[in-house]
Amino acid sequence: MRNVALITGACSGIGLASVDTLLASGASVIACDINSPSSSVKHKWDSENVHFLNLNVESEAAIRSAINQLADEFAGIDTLINCAGISGWGGVNDIEMAQWQKVLNINLTGTMLMCKYVLPIMLAQGAGNIINVASIFGLEACDNNVAYNVSKGGIIQLTRSITADYASQGIRCNSVAPGLIETAMTKDIALDPQLHEKFISWHLQGRAGRAEEVASVIGFLSSNAASFVNGQTIAVDGGFSAGRRFSAHPG
């Protein structure tokens, strides 16, 4: 069965791992990112016929043009995986408005715009599958993190809203909510050993996750095995959202 998959934020972290996962499932992959792939990734993608497109998800005009071009070139888009995102620190009282807007523009509005311009193509096909990357901090809040919390919570509601509007027309839309995943975006946390250890301790499995572990769930959601899963947010968080452990970990 044909699967043309468009992935944003594809050059690093969960996006890069998702490219590998979708390729392994037999999909044709369109990898989009504002950054260019590293030389080693580019060499690998060239050998696997991955189509790379430089794309800034803050630009509605760029998204509209790119999706229309890609839909013509690939005769449709079957799967959209929205991984593009940035972090942003600060509480309501001290966050700079420019940072607030940047985080919301990329994480939430960028995800919405990708859906907005891919959905008509999927609706014309009578089928389509969207997977959005949210966060555990879309499920619960973290202090000093207001823009990120709000953007990821918005992604979860966006996911539900798309299902409410379009499930009856053959569209599936789900999201994943990763916990601490060791990627370039979380490297600043690792620079503070005390904070890093505390954050890890909140994950009941006692470790951070790997990008490929999130990508495996994304791969499941993109497959026919998840054909009756719609409007859901799956936490991929090593037990973070299940609760807290107050006694010492054994061993």
Active-site positions read 148
Q: Residue 245: helix, strand or coil by DSSP?
A: coil
Q: How far apart are CA 153 and CA 79, in angstroms?
A: 22
Cα separation, 76 vs 2, whole angstroms: 10
The tally of CA atoms less than 13 A away on the side-chain side of residue 126 is: 0
Give Cβ neighbours of residue 216 (< 8 Å, ≥ 6 apart).
21
Q: How many CB atoms lie within 10 A of CB 131?
A: 26
Whole-angstrom distance, CA of residue 59 vs CA of residue 61: 5
**Calpha distance 198→182 (Å, rounded):** 15
Query: Rounded CA gap, 79 and 6, in Å?
Result: 6
Residue closest to 115 by CA, chosen among 129, 104, 127: 129
